[in-house]
Amino acid sequence: MIRSEYNVQLTRWQRLGLTTAVGAVLAVGATALVVQALEGPADPTKTAQTPDAATPATTQEPVRATPTDTAAVAPVEAEPALSAPVAAQIDYLLAHWSLENYNTAEWGVLGENDCVNFASQAMIARGWTMDSVWSSPKNGNAYDASAAWRSSTAFMNYIAQTGKATALTDQQRDQVKVGDIVQFDWDNSGDRDHTGIVTRVEKVGDTIEISFAGHTLDSDFRSVDTAITVDHPGGTAYYWSVP
């Protein structure tokens, strides 16, 4: 009889615990429903996972070059590094190409025909030395200089006779480099009408664009192509490759 009452008592405690647990669960659920009703429906923008900005979605297309991109059309080849003598030559050209910066105190100016006087100065800056044929007293009077120093045709003959540089035609642009001498024959008469120094060589695909610095038409990066097609249509460019 005692054992029976003990069993009944245990059963009642178990039922009481079960009832309490069920009641607690129902209370929590009801509380959640009340909170949701007060706050409104969940914001999908807050619960949806946002992709990491540093990790693009795997379905995103990679960035591609378009036909209008310069790199896609024709990459420009980098120019080789300049040697110290050529760098000194180019520095001189870029410092004195404009009229307000002419080095007249030392070399003077030949009116509107100062191109060879300026080119000769640049060759001195590069390391060439004067001789009895190609020289200037450096006294501020350009007219005291020798013919080879101030005449394009005489300068051409001087280089050819001394072998200081190798002659190149405009069809040999692939051999032209910064620091070389460029000369022009505007009317194709066989003489030389203008002289400059190459300051830039750009290889864009199969095209080679050459720019030069000079006096008379003062310039630092004047296009050879513009000179012989726009400024002097039909003119011809020649080069001297300086070692």
**pLDDT > 90 fraction of the chain, expressed in percent and rounded:** 67
Neighbours of 231 (CB within 10 A): 14
Mean pLDDT of 42-56: 39
Residue 118, in any domain of the structure: yes
**pLDDT above 90 (res 211):** yes
Q: What is the pLDDT of residue 78?
A: 64
Claim to verify: residue 131 and residue 179 sit in the same structural domain: yes
Q: Are β-strands 194-204 and 76-77 bridged in parallel, bridged antiparallel, or unpaired?
A: antiparallel
Q: Do residue 120 and residue 195 come from a single domain?
A: yes
> Does residue 195 belong to any structural domain of this protein?
yes
Nearest to 195 by CA among 179, 183, 211: 183
Distance of CA 232 to the CA centre of its chain: 29
95 located within any domain: yes
Rounded to whole angstroms, how far apart are CA atoms 242 and 105?
27
pLDDT in tens, 60-90: 433 323 333 444 455 556 678 999 999 999 9
Name which residue leads in pLDDT, 146 or 79.
Answer: 146
The pLDDT-based confidence of 24 (bands split at 50, 70, 90) is very low
pLDDT band of residue 140 (cuts 50, 70, 90) is very high
The verdict on 148 and 231 lying in the same domain is: yes
Is residue 58 domain-resident?
no
pLDDT at 11: 41
Helix H or strand E encompassing 240:
strand 236-241
Please give the structure tokens belonging to residue 149.
């120093």
Nearest to 182 by CA among 134, 228, 230: 228
> 94 and 34 share a domain?
no
| Contact assessment for residue 142 and residue 136, using Cβ atoms and an 8 Å cutoff | yes
Q: In this predicted structure, what is the pLDDT of residue 75?
A: 58
Judge whether 217 lies within some domain. Answer: yes
If one counts every other C-beta atom within 10 angstroms of the C-beta of residue 114, the result is: 22
More confident residue, 122 or 31: 122
102 shares its domain with 192: yes
For residues 38-47, one letter each, b for 16 or more C-beta atoms within 10 angstroms of the residue's C-beta and e for the rest, the string is: eeeeeeeeee
CA 188/CA 192 separation, integer angstroms? 9
Residues 34 and 83 in one domain: no
Containing domain of residue 131, as a range?
74-241
Task: Give per-residue pLDDT as tens, 147-206.
Answer: 999 999 999 999 999 999 999 999 999 999 999 999 999 999 999 999 999 999 999 999
Instruction: Kindly state whether residue 196 falls inside one of the protein's structural domains.
Output: yes
Q: Based on the domain organization, do 87 and 194 belong to the same domain?
A: yes
Q: Are residues 111 and 19 in the same domain?
A: no
d(CA 205, CA 75): 6
Instruction: Please state at what angle helix 115-126 crosses helix 152-162, rounded to 10 degrees.
Output: 30
Question: Does a structural domain hold residue 23?
Answer: yes
Q: Which of 236, 222, 230 is nearest to 115 (CA)?
A: 222
Q: Following CA atoms 35, 37, 41, 42 in sequence, which dihedral angle do they give, to the nearest 10 degrees?
A: 0
Q: Count CB neighbours of 228 within 10 A.
A: 18
Whether 31 and 113 share a structural domain: no
Task: Give the total number of structural domains in the chain.
Answer: 2
More confident residue, 9 or 64: 9
Contacts of 221 (CB under 8 A, 6+ apart): 199, 200, 211, 212, 213
Q: Does 127 lie in the same domain as 25?
A: no
Query: Is the pLDDT assigned to residue 10 strictly greater than 80?
Result: no
Evaluate whether residue 69 is within a structural domain: no
Are residues 176 and 97 part of one domain? Answer: yes
Q: What is the pLDDT of residue 80?
A: 80
Residues 188 and 97 in one domain: yes
